Amino acid sequence: MHNFYRAGAVALAMLWTSGLSAGEAPLSLSEAVKIAVTAEDPALLGFDAKAEALEDRAIADSQLPDPTIRGALANISTDTFRFAQENMTQAQVGLRQAFPAGRTLSLMGERRRGEADIERARKDLTLREIELAVRLAWFDQYYWRWAQNSVRESQTTVSELMRSLHASYSTGSLTTQHILRAELELSLLDDQLTDLQRREAITRADLARYLGAAAVRPLSDHMPDLAPPPMLTDMETVLVRHPAVLLADAVVDVGSTDIALAEQSYKPSWALEAGYGARGGGRSDLATIGVTLSIPLFVANRQDRRVSAATLDRGAARLDRAATLLELQRDLERANADWILLGDRVELYGAAIIERARETASASISTYASGRTDFAEMIRSQLAELDVELKRVKLLTERGKAWARLDYLVGDIQ
């Protein structure tokens, strides 16, 4: 199958490098992807920064709350304000340390680490999407540039026909209608070339988003050798390792942690307190130690509701994961069908249609010279050969884009 890719390529180096720096190496598909995924993209750096921030929060949130200290002057007589007058007068200092319920602290740290995993999964998914976007744009760019070269060749052919027409017109063997028809076809080719240049500029802008200055480099003058994808059943089994599914898995894991956190609220939280009271007048000082304990009694509208809400959130996350997997399955079947059926069409064009179009175009010139066909039919035959060539290369690039989608879905196709 790779021979058909190579058969569809035309050497365009001189054309593609016009206006570009001399000696600049062609940009291959693999190099374009490498440049994109190794660039310091702000979106990717943002995921790293968020993940690191969440890792720091995981450590902070799993620590005990800060202890509190209390100072007071208690039970002082208001008639004299003398510290040693009353037995109960004390200068107090106390310390209190709270302990959240159950495993709340460790689960809070676990939740933050789960959120960091979500950010890393989002980065992996974004990288996979960047690879796909660059490959699709590269194949489009390849086609638009190839098509421009083919249209220019057709313009040359029509221009040569017009020169011969003008000679025939001067002898009276052709009418003004023939001249106008040739000029119309040439104008239509000019318009087609302008549209192709517009589409190439749009695609170059898409590439520049990820490649920067490398987007203006000429492309390789041949289609890349694409490794055949595995069987559909084999590709289906690896969909669960797609970054979008792994992202959904990370969200489900955080949901499970939220349920465990909500369940901790059924357990009491407690605090340890210690105090010291200094008394005047030679009296002995006093020490205090105690424990405070919360009592979760009314749980129906608080704890029960929190656990229920967390459970429903996790259920919704699992449904989202199932929906994501179904979408990937659908995309895989469509991309695989495109890969197979476009391959069949490429073979058909390479084996029969191209050759017949060329033979028809060549025969139309001979039959026109012998007077057995009219000028309009000859022009249609010449332009039909261009349309067939464009269609063949379009099929090649569309099949390449189907391969890119398969690679996006199942990972590196070797």
pLDDT value of residue 122: 96
- Give the model's pLDDT for residue 179: 67
DSSP summary character for residue 90: E
Q: Looking at this protein, which amino acid is placed at residue 257?
A: T
Report the number of distinct structural domains present in the chain. Answer: 1
**How many Å apart are CA 154 and CA 64, to the nearest integer?**
78
Residue pLDDT, tens place only, 308-342: 999 999 999 999 999 999 999 999 999 999 999 99
How many other C-beta atoms are found inside a 10 Å radius of the C-beta of residue 91? 16
In this predicted structure, the answer to whether residue 165 has a pLDDT above a threshold of 50 is yes
CA angle (140, 137, 127) in 5-degree steps: 155
The string of pLDDT tens digits covering residues 243-287 is 999 999 999 999 999 999 999 999 999 999 999 999 888 789 899
Q: Does the structure show a pLDDT above 50 at 9?
A: no
Q: Report pLDDT for 48.
A: 94
Residue in the structure block whose two tokens are 């000859």: 378
Element (H, E) at 290: strand 286-293
Q: Angle 149-155-160 (CA atoms, 0-180°, nearest 5)?
A: 135
Sign of CA dihedral 207, 212, 213, 214: negative
Q: How far apart are CA 97 and CA 103, in angstroms?
A: 16
3-class state of residue 386 by DSSP: helix
242 pLDDT tier (thresholds 50, 70, 90) = very high
- pLDDT at res. 185: 73
Q: How many Cα atoms are found within 13 Å in the side-chain-facing hemisphere of 289?
A: 0
Q: Contact 126/372 with Cβ under 8 angstroms?
A: no
User: Is residue 291 included in any domain, yes or no?
Assistant: no
Domain contains 57: yes
Q: Is 182 inside any structural domain?
A: yes
What share of the chain has pLDDT > 70, as a percent? 81
DSSP character at residue 213: G
Is there a contact between 405 and 399 (Cβ–Cβ < 8 Å)? no
306 domain residue, yes or no: yes
Structural domain for 378, as ranges: 2-64+100-265+302-410
User: Comparing 22-31, 38-47, 78-87, which segment has the lowest mean pLDDT?
Assistant: 22-31
Q: Which comes out higher in pLDDT, residue 125 or 363? A: 125
Judge whether 322 lies within some domain.
Answer: yes
Contacts of 216 (CB under 8 A, 6+ apart): 20, 204, 208
| pLDDT, mean over the chain | 84
CA dist 405 and 135 (Å) reads: 9
**Does the residue 367 lie in any domain?**
yes
Q: Is residue 271 part of a domain?
A: no
Q: Is 81 exposed, middle or buried (0-12, 13-18, 19+ CB in 10 A)?
A: exposed
pLDDT at residue number 15: 35
- pLDDT tens-place string over residues 204-238: 999 999 998 888 888 887 888 888 999 999 999 99
Residue 222, CA atoms < 13 Å, CB-side half-sphere: 9
Domain containing residue 218: CATH number:
1.20.1600.10
What is the tens place of the pLDDT at every residue in 19-40?
444 456 889 999 999 999 998 8
Q: What letters, b where the CB count within 10 A reaches 16 and e where it falls short, cover 331-365? A: bbeebbebbeebbebbeebbeeebeebeeebeebe
Least confident of 2-16, 130-144, 353-367: 2-16
* Torsion from C-alpha of 279, 280, 281, 287, nearest 10 degrees: 20
* pLDDT grade for 4, boundaries at 50, 70 and 90: very low
- Any idea what DSSP says for residue 353? I
Per the model's pLDDT, the better-predicted residue between 57 and 220 turns out to be 57
Tell me the CA distances in angstroms from 336 to 54, 240, 287, 342, 401, one per residue in order.
Answer: 39, 17, 79, 10, 11
**24 inside domain:** yes
Confidence of residue 93 (pLDDT cuts 50, 70, 90): very high
**What would the pLDDT profile of 402-411 be if each residue is shown by its tens digit?**
999 999 999 8
Choose between 309 and 361: higher pLDDT.
Answer: 309
What CA–CA distance (Å, rounded) separates 297 from 300? 9
Lowest mean pLDDT among 78-87, 97-106, 316-325: 78-87
Which residue would you say has higher pLDDT here, 157 or 90?
Answer: 90
